[in-house]
Amino acid sequence: MIPNRRFPVEPWQVREVGLDLDVLAQSESLFALSNGHIGLRGNLDEGDPAGLPGTYLNSFFETRPLPYAEAGFGFPETGQTVLNVTNGKLIRLLVDDEPFDLRYGEVRHHERTLDLRAGLLRREVEWLSPAGQRIILRTVRMVSLTQRSIVAIHYEVEAIGSPARVVLQSELVANEHVPPQSHDPRVAAIMESPLAPVEHDGHGTRAWLLHRTRSSQLCMAAAMEHAFDSDSNPGTQMVVHPDWARLTAGTVLQPGEKLTMTKLVAYGWSSQRSVPALRDQVDAALLAAVRTGWDQLVADQEAALALFWEGADVEIDGDPAVQQAVRFALFHTYQAATRAEQRAIPAKGLTGPGYDGHAFWDTESFVLPVLTATAPHTVADALKWRHSTLDLALDRARTLTLRGAAFPWRTIRGQECSGYWPAGAAAFHVNADVAVAAMRYVRWTGDAEFDRLYALPMLIHTARLWRSLGYDGADGAFHIDGVTGPDEYSAIVDDNAYTNLMAKLNLNSAADAAERWADDAGALRVDADEIARWRAAASTVAIHYDAKRQVHKQDKDFTDHQVWDFERTAAEDAYPLLLNAPYFDIYRKQVIKQADLILAMHWCGDEFTLEEKARAFAYYEPLTVRDSSLSACTQAVIAAEVGQLELATDYLAEAALMDLHDLEHNSRDGLHIASLAGTWLALVAGFGGMRDHGGLLSFHPQLPPGWHGLAFRLRWRDARIRVSVRPDEVTYEYVDGPVEVVEVLDCGDRIYLRVGEPVVRAVRRVEPLTPRPAQPPGRAPLRAADLDPGEPPPDQSVS
């Protein structure tokens, strides 16, 4: 894995045997813990060595200037960057005055394990100090899923062979040094020491620090408390300064004796609450966690994850690496959102500072569909965050001289933070992505209150945007010109198919919602004429077809352009293109960064026939270079649908192993949450054939070559359903839920599920309608078999 033999393939955990300092930053991302509110990178307890230190609070950011060579009307002037906040993970250890540091002495054993069922990061180290003192260190770390302000660490050191003088130093540290993430000196200066001290204090075994950001003026508090269990009574001392607090505890351990410390850390932040209120908030959170106790925190964590896995687990009989990967992916997808509670879900979650901690359209188009089917409460929260930024989106549309709401391309708080206008101002599909995600959540859950209070206004204002942005052409069609679709290598185009079809869904959904909630829609000044205009635009939206090539066009002129010289690019090793070729050249050629029309064929699949999908897939595959981690999962979904099962398997492996094998070479900056979610999509929507077109739950399952089974669980309108696929048959089970009968489609046929009455159907395989398509030279998907690192050696030292 990464790829590295230190990481064995195991079904319910990610385990690192030994420690490779060359991939330390990558492993810190893999071992990150979060609950959507707090995020901890998987740094070593002692802090050194570190690849990239990181502790994050969702939506806690600093503002910074956005540099432009030439300014333009409507360009955002200020960006937002997630901050590394006060670090509460630090516990330093001294043994006979020798600092515990894996780079010194002899590490006889080192192992870290991320337990995907327990939600815990465990570590065990056997260390021989330079002076010859042997100790065993065992730690367990969690970010609580049930007490969202709490981080808990169980730290145990044992003396082996001879008595040892042991000192623990448990710390809170603000403004710790982090390697620079930007080459702009202005940004670097702002991020160098972003937290200004406000208040600090401590007594006994408890301490707290309060800080405020210098520009965004957000205030945060961090507090720590400790409990000891020791074979000998440790003495303690607390020291508190504005940027750091340290509890020191020391004792002498006889051979076999242990010093055990439980450290609780509470975090809170606000843009509006007073300093005393924040101080009291974290103090109360600590008190609640102390009363709960370590054992109960662990039990509650396991119970929370057990409930999630009951409605989300995927079981694979055929590829152990993908089995591990999909559970790793679901775990990180879930923990990125579960306690976000009306905050954004960033592209990297809270696992690293990549993309400045921004949320993109990735959330609504890749992450929320998975969570809608597995943990729907998290989706309501994520969409309520979008709703909370609606005023900003309305303002942004007015700046762009449009009606309705224009949600930002990239943001933390809700303001547009993209300094690149072909994305920040032209990628309007993000608005339909938000609207359709709200529509999908309502369809899957039947949440009427959410539909009326949150979905309705977002649907109405985004529908108004499309009517304002588009126009009725002389040809009788509704056109949307000058936009950028998901493929950012085809910028500022007319009638991007994905954008237009998602806008169609948006317009029709807005009309349906306005008719469901006529009084509430009326309060937003929606009348029958406006609804009719929405439906008219939706019914005539322009989708262009190339009759000569018999394929749909990605946009109006796409197939008329010159094809990119892929042979020359492969010879020059010039990927990703955005870093090796001028945009001017990229924009005017047939070359695709990531699935675009193919993505439309997934989410708007009822607009195309199977034959049209097969021809389009064959045409666009040789043009798609996958310079984005978002592409492989969608290509897997459509490859499976058109019968290219072996190719779908390859794309599944690439999506699944994106971070476990660091395929994009940037996992050090945080995990690719959308690609992780895409692993589930590739399996359930790909090989499970799951769709929800028209509000009907349907399946067309078929197994990849060489697999013996695939089973997955999901939640549909409060009903828990399990689908189990074998080579020749599929079994549908209604596990539990509030209704007597659940109706689903199997290969277009209606079946009715009742609790305790499984329905067994024959698998209907799709025969490929075209030969297996080729990819651009050098851009064929990687396969799991090619990346298998093998079993780890029995004993490895730090290297």
Question: Catalytic positions, please?
Answer: 488
Determine the residue type at 656.
Answer: A
The DSSP H or E segment spanning 539 is helix 528-539
What are the residues whose beta carbons fall under 8 Å from the beta carbon of 398, sequence distance 6 or more? none
Q: DSSP string spanning 265-320?
A: EEEEEESSS-HHHHHHHHHHHHHHHHHH-HHHHHHHHHHHHHHHHHTT-EEEES-H
Q: Which of 725, 724, 735 is nearest to 757 (CA)?
A: 735
| Residue matched to tokens 């009759």 | 547
Q: C-alpha angle with apex 643: 715 to 697, nearest 5 degrees?
A: 20
Residue 139 token pair:
């730690």
Query: How long a stretch of residues is the chain?
Result: 799
Q: Which of 161, 37, 42, 150 is nearest to 95 (CA)?
A: 161
The DSSP H or E segment spanning 724 is strand 719-725
Q: Answer whether 320's CB lies under 8 Å from 660's CB.
A: no
- Cα–Cα dist 708/710, whole Å: 7
What are the residues whose beta carbons fall under 8 Å from the beta carbon of 759, sequence distance 6 or more? 731, 732, 733, 746, 751, 752, 753
| Residue matched to tokens 């322009």 | 542
| Residue matched to tokens 């609606």 | 390
Residue 685 token pair:
């929507």
Q: Answer whether 639's CB lies under 8 Å from 655's CB.
A: no
Go through 634-658 and write b for each residue having 16 or more CB atoms within 10 A of its CB, e for each that does not.
bbbbbbbbbbbbebbbbbbbbbbbb
Give the three-class secondary structure for 176: coil
Sign of CA dihedral 49, 52, 56, 60: positive
- Cα–Cα dist 655/635, whole Å: 10
In angstroms, the Cα distances linking 96 to 252, 254, 260, 519 are: 9, 13, 17, 74
- Cα–Cα dist 683/640, whole Å: 9
CB atoms within 10 A of CB 593: 22
- Cα–Cα dist 253/232, whole Å: 7
Give the three-class secondary structure for 784: helix
CB atoms within 10 A of CB 92: 18
Pairing of strands 562-563, 589-590: parallel
Q: Which of 48, 603, 593, 662 is nearest to 365 (CA)?
A: 603
Sign of CA dihedral 312, 317, 321, 322: negative
Q: Which of 720, 712, 714, 724 is nearest to 692 (CA)?
A: 714
Q: Answer whether 323's CB lies under 8 Å from 653's CB.
A: no
Q: C-alpha angle with apex 680: 679 to 683, nearest 5 degrees?
A: 90
Chain CA centroid to CA 129, Å: 40
Helix (H), strand (E) counts: the chain = 24, 34
